[in-house]
Amino acid sequence: MTFENSRMNNIVVLGTLAAIFILGLFLRFGVLAGTVVDTPVRADARKYVTYAYNLSHFDVYSGQRLGTSSLDYYTWVPGLFKFVF
């Protein structure tokens, strides 16, 4: 294989990779532009947002929302009564 042929192969390969990359960007941005989210937090994401909010603001990993009672002492923990009583 001569130098010109290997150089031409490299250009073709790089051009193909660039075309695939540009097509991928175009598809991703097209999907991103067309995606509509009805509400900021929906379904079970509220639980994870609450965990993250409490962890970042209060340094506590808890799923309890603001405005509810203080702590949930009555949460069932397996083996709790064996330990306490």
Q: Going by C-beta distance under 8 Å and a sequence separation of 6 or more, which residues neighbour residue 62? A: 50, 51, 54
With a pLDDT cut of 90, the percent of the chain lying above it is 27
The reported pTM is 0.43
Mean of the pLDDT values across residues 69-84?
56
Task: Give the pLDDT confidence of 13-41 residue by residue, as tens digits.
Answer: 999 999 999 999 999 999 999 888 777 77
Check whether 66 has a pLDDT greater than 70: no
Q: Which run of H or E residues covers position 25? A: helix 3-34
Closest CA to 63 of 78, 72, 80: 72
pLDDT tier for residue 75 given thresholds of 50, 70 and 90: low
Check whether 56 has a pLDDT greater than 60: yes
Please report the pLDDT score of residue 15 as a whole number: 96
